[in-house]
């Protein structure tokens, strides 16, 4: 066991670095750049029951310290993910992968989760109840503790693998939602998804994104993510995966001090395809500089007062 190893819901990871869903495709796209087996694991593209083309373009906009996206869960549907995407992934990634599940109803979450749970290469089910870029689903389940708990309980009833619930920051009280998920059987919590935002084209006076609003990610959201991870990690007993604006090894250490067991790296992958590889390579040196022997020791190690 190395100094970067962490245990996530009973599964050992070589390191805590996990590319976030929607920023890493199905893995094999990035395998063209480097050996992705250096990763702890990764969360593949959000998967729904039926194929989705996603939202109309333009659906990406740059902004200070980050980017807005309203891709809208574009994916080929769960059956094709299982029959086409996972076999291609297996050729280049030899560890357990995190399956990200999205839906527009309780029944859809249950259906997709039950199918992916049967796949040998899937280690965790990450249930996204926090996508702000689709209508009639996604975030609507993640803004109410009762609904969040209901989805958690329903998915847990049809799965055998650890279920991690991905939460939205677009709420007043994220702790109550996290606790509802824990009370209904969640094995872990991941947060945060993107913050809702928008941009306007000054010449046309129209929203830059066709969907009008999009999800803000990137370094601008890091302090918000850090605060929410800290709040949730100190309120629940299950592992927390922290994400939101992580760009370097120092950010990883800061997020883990706040209470994260592992971290997901999102927007950074879209700027630099080698982002996660570089962070993993930088981590030992950062730990040395801070006098940290083993990265597992720092989870929740923030000193208050």
3-state SS, the chain, equals: CCCCCEEECCEEECCCEEECCCCCCCCCCHHHCCCHHHCCCCECCCECCCCECCCCCCCEEEECCEEEECCCCCECCHHHHHHHHHHHHHCCCCCCEEEEECCCCHHHHHHHHHHHHCCCCEEEEEEECCCCCCCCCHHHHCCCHHHHHHHHHHHHCCCCCCEEEECCCCCCCHHHHHHHHHHCCCCEEEECCCEEECCECCCCCCECCCCCCEEEECHHHHHHHHHHHHHHHCCCCCCEEEECCCCCHHHHHHHHHCCCCEEEECHHHHHCCCHHHHHHHHHHHHHHHHCCCCHHHHCCCCCCC
* 193 touches 128 (CB < 8 A): yes
Integer angstrom CA distances of residue 158 from 50, 114, 177, 232, 293: 19, 6, 21, 26, 40
Query: What does the pLDDT read at residue 52?
Result: 93
Does residue 131 carry a catalytic annotation?
Answer: yes
Q: Which of 131, 181, 248, 276 is catalytic?
A: 131
Q: In what order do the strands lie in the sheet with 60-63?
A: 60-63, 66-69, 214-217, 195-197
Domain boundaries, the chain: 6-56+71-197+216-298
Which CATH architecture describes the domain 6-56+71-197+216-298? Alpha-Beta Barrel (3.20)
Alpha-carbon distance of 99 to 199, in angstroms, equals 31
Query: What does the pLDDT read at residue 135?
Result: 47
Per-block average pLDDT, block size 10, for the chain (305 residues)? Answer: 95 98 95 97 96 90 94 93 97 98 93 98 95 52 89 97 96 96 98 96 96 95 98 98 98 98 97 97 98 96 83
Q: How many angstroms separate the first and last alpha carbons of the chain? A: 34
Give the number of other Cβ atoms within 10 Å of residue 13's Cβ: 20
Query: What does the pLDDT read at residue 140?
Result: 63
In this prediction the pTM is: 0.95
Query: What does the pLDDT read at residue 88?
Result: 96
Integer angstrom CA distances of residue 48 from 80, 111, 116, 117: 11, 9, 11, 14
């Amino acid at each position: 066991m190395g100094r970067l190893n962490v245990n996530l819901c009973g599964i050992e990871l070589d390191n805590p670095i996990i590319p976030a869903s929607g920023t890493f495709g199905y893995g094999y796209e990035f395998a063209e750049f480097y050996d992705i087996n250096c990763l702890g694991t990764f969360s593949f593209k959000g998967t729904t029951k039926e194929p989705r083309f996603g939202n109309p373009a333009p659906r990406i906009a740059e902004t200070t310290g980050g980017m807005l996206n309203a891709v809208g869960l574009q994916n080929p549907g769960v059956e094709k993910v299982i029959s086409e995407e996972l076999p291609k992934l297996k050729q280049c990634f030899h560890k357990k992968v995190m399956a990200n599940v999205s839906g527009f109803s309780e029944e859809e979450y249950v259906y997709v989760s039950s199918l992916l749970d049967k796949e040998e290469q899937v280690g965790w089910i990450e249930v996204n109840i926090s996508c702000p870029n689709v209508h009639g689903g996604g975030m609507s389940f993640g803004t109410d503790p009762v609904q969040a708990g209901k989805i958690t309980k329903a998915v847990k009833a049809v799965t055998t693998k650890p279920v991690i619930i991905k939460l939205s920051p677009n709420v007043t009280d994220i702790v109550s939602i996290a606790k509802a998920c824990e009370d209904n059987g969640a094995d872990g919590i991941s947060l945060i998804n993107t913050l809702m935002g928008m941009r306007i084209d000054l010449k046309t006076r129209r929203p830059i994104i066709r969907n009008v609003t999009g999800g803000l990610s990137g370094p601008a959201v890091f302090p918000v993510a850090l605060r929410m991870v800290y709040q949730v990690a100190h309120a629940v007993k299950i592992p927390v995966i922290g994400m939101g604006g992580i760009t370097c090894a120092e950010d990883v250490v800061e997020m883990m001090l706040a209470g994260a067991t592992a971290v997901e790296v999102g927007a950074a992958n879209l700027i630099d395809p080698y982002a996660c590889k570089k962070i993993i390579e930088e981590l030992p040196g950062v730990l040395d500089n801070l006098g940290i022997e083993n990265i597992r020791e720092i989870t929740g190690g923030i000193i208050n007062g």
